[in-house]
């Protein structure tokens, strides 16, 4: 070998790693220099805690990591550490999230910017490692911000942005970063970790009223007479949620500029310019949906794809603007809500509610993939086909389809 070496091209080609989603999120937690982590095992989110425990054991960064006795304790630990002034990380999946429900509620109402990973998984019974969104969607009314990543790269980036948005004094609300179980948590894909340009993106966390004898004593979450401040207390959370929209936009603009990847804050669209039909979904299956969109475009069909990046705050206005001109929407929905309006999924009905205020209402059909059985691109193509036929006929035969069901879809 000659002594002459090639100059590294690192600055131009970002260094890619092959990471699972949970590994990528652990990297974000490390970059955020989180202080307190509370863990409890449940698939598929567990990997993130395994990674963090390893990083801490190897001295890659320093944090208190508590192995809790339950998810309820896990979320209470994070909530209380956050009240003192520590940056915190927790997470769970499936029934674990429901077990923690009480602690999850109060975290938002106490306005503590805890960041949690929700690794979406079907709820019991029976035990099922499949992917469904219900475990996370049930927290839609609780005052948590909920964002939904489509791959490991975005999961890493979203976690960093989650801290920035949550800890912003205009927001101070906790944040779920949701990722689809297995497809994101467990599948390794190329990830480019942020470089030094990220420095300063995340200012230190300082709660306005830390629970620390160093400051004036605060009495936090004291029992109240409802007539006194009950309504105002709820309004504070409402206003924080409203304000978070602007803060989210700001944060993604700054983040995109620093890392050189461009992220639209609320919706990501493909082929939507002159689309007559749209596929609307969230998460990992977006890539398959885009593939279907591309395929159908090649056949001359005017099909586009819209993906929600946030579930809370819900991007109602953006969805209206994006979907008002389409004639039909195929919702790829991994949620259910037994007994709901038209027996559709929670994801579907929320979209219908948002589009009720649109000046022109498209036909909206729900393709509901419940129970964790994986759909494939053929199912998605079929969904578009059914939607197209309904549009041509001017009315839908039915509103909700269980395409992965074996047997009659009653």
Partner 1 sequence: MSLQPIRTPKELGSIDYYTSGHRTCAGCGPAIGYRLATKAAGPKTVLLGPTGCMYVANGHQFLTSPYAVPWFHTQLGGGGAAGIGTAAAFRALISKGKRKREEINVLVYGGDGGFADIGYAGLSMALTYDYQRLLYILYDNESYANTGIQASSTTPWGATTTFTPTGKVKRIGNERMKKNVALTIAAHPGVRYVATSALYPPMDLVNKVRKALNSGGPAFIQILTPCPKGWFFDPKHTITLSRLAVETGAWALWEYEEGTFSLTYKPPKRQGLREYMRMQGRFTHLSDEDIERLDRVIEEQWKLWLESDRQRRIILPWTPPPTPL
- Quote the longest CA-to-CA distance of the chain: 82
Q: How far is the CB of 141 from partner 1 (least distance, A)?
A: 18
Nearer to partner 1, 10 or 219 (CB): 219
CB neighbour list of residue 209: distance below 8 Å, 6 or more residues apart: 215, 216, 218, 220
CB neighbour list of residue 222: distance below 8 Å, 6 or more residues apart: none
CB neighbour list of residue 250: distance below 8 Å, 6 or more residues apart: none
Q: How far is the CB of 349 from partner 1 (least distance, A)?
A: 30
Q: Under a CB-based contact definition with an 8 Å cutoff, are residues 301 and 295 in contact?
A: no
Q: How far is the CB of 129 from partner 1 (least distance, A)?
A: 25
Q: How far is the CB of 71 from partner 1 (least distance, A)?
A: 10
Q: How far is the CB of 167 from partner 1 (least distance, A)?
A: 14
Footprint of partner 1 (CB under 8 A): 33, 35-36, 38, 62-64, 66, 68-70, 72-74, 76-86, 102-103, 106, 110, 204, 211-215, 217-225, 228-229
Question: Burial of 211 by CB count in 10 Å (0-12 exposed, 13-18 middle, 19+ buried)?
Answer: middle
Nearer to partner 1, 50 or 233 (CB): 233
Between the CA atoms of 169, 36, 17 and 187, what dihedral angle is there, to the nearest 10 degrees?
-100
Closest to 305 (Cα-Cα) out of 325, 317, 288, 324: 288
Q: Under a CB-based contact definition with an 8 Å cutoff, are residues 82 and 112 in contact?
A: yes
Q: Give the Cα separation of 47 and 218 in Å (integer).
A: 37
Nearer to partner 1, 221 or 353 (CB): 221
Q: Under a CB-based contact definition with an 8 Å cutoff, are residues 31 and 259 in contact?
A: no
Q: How far is the CB of 102 from partner 1 (least distance, A)?
A: 5
Nearer to partner 1, 87 or 379 (CB): 87
Q: Measuring CA to CA, how many Å separate 304 from each of 111, 267, 271, 272?
A: 38, 13, 4, 4
Nearer to partner 1, 77 or 202 (CB): 77
Nearer to partner 1, 38 or 279 (CB): 38
Q: How far is the CB of 211 from partner 1 (least distance, A)?
A: 5
In a 13 Å sphere around the CA of 368, the CA atoms on its Cβ side amount to 25
Nearer to partner 1, 68 or 399 (CB): 68
Nearer to partner 1, 92 or 281 (CB): 92
Q: How far is the CB of 296 from partner 1 (least distance, A)?
A: 50
- Distance, CA of 260 to chain centre: 22
Rg of the chain's alpha carbons, rounded to an integer? 22
The residues that bridge with 39 in the sheet, in sequence order, are 67
């Amino acid at each position: 070998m000659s002594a002459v070496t090639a100059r590294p091209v690192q600055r131009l080609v970002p260094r890619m790693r092959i990471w699972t989603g949970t590994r990528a999120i652990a990297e974000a937690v490390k970059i955020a220099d989180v202080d307190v982590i509370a863990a409890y095992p449940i698939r598929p989110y567990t990997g993130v805690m395994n990674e963090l425990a390893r990083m801490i054991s190897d001295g890659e960064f320093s944090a208190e990591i508590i192995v809790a006795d339950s998810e309820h304790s896990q979320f209470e630990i994070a909530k209380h550490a956050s009240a003192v002034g520590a940056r915190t990380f927790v997470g769970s999946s499936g029934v674990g999230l429901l077990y923690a429900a009480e602690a999850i509620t109060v975290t938002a109402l106490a306005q503590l910017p805890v960041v949690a990973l929700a690794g979406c998984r079907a709820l019991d019974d029976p035990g099922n490692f499949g992917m469904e969104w219900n475990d996370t969607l049930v927290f839609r009314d609780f005052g948590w911000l909920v964002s939904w990543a489509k791959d490991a790269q975005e999961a890493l980036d979203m976690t960093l942005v989650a801290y920035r948005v949550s800890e912003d004094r205009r927001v101070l609300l906790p944040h779920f970063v949701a990722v689809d179980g297995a497809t994101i948590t467990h599948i390794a894909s190329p990830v480019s970790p942020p470089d030094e340009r990220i420095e300063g993106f995340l200012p230190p966390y300082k709660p306005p009223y830390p629970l620390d004898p160093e400051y004036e004593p605060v009495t936090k979450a004291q029992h109240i007479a409802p007539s006194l401040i009950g309504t105002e207390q709820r309004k504070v959370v409402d206003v924080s949620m409203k304000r978070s929209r602007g803060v989210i936009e700001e944060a993604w603009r700054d983040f995109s500029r620093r890392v050189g990847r461009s992220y639209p804050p609320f919706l990501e669209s493909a082929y939507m310019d002159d689309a007559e039909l749209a596929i609307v979904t969230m998460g990992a299956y977006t890539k398959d949906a885009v593939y279907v969109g591309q395929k159908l475009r090649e056949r001359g069909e005017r099909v586009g794809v819209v993906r929600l990046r946030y579930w809370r705050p819900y991007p109602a206005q953006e969805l209206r603007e994006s979907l008002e001109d389409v004639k039909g929407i195929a919702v790829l929905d991994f949620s259910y809500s037994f007994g709901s309006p038209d027996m559709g999924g929670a994801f579907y009905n929320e979209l219908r509610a948002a589009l009720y205020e649109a000046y022109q209402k498209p036909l909206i059909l729900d393709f509901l993939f419940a129970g964790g059985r994986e759909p494939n691109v053929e199912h998605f193509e079929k969904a578009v086909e059914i939607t197209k036929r309904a549009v041509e006929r001017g009315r839908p035969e039915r509103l909700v389809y269980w395409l992965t069901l074996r047997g009659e879809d009653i």
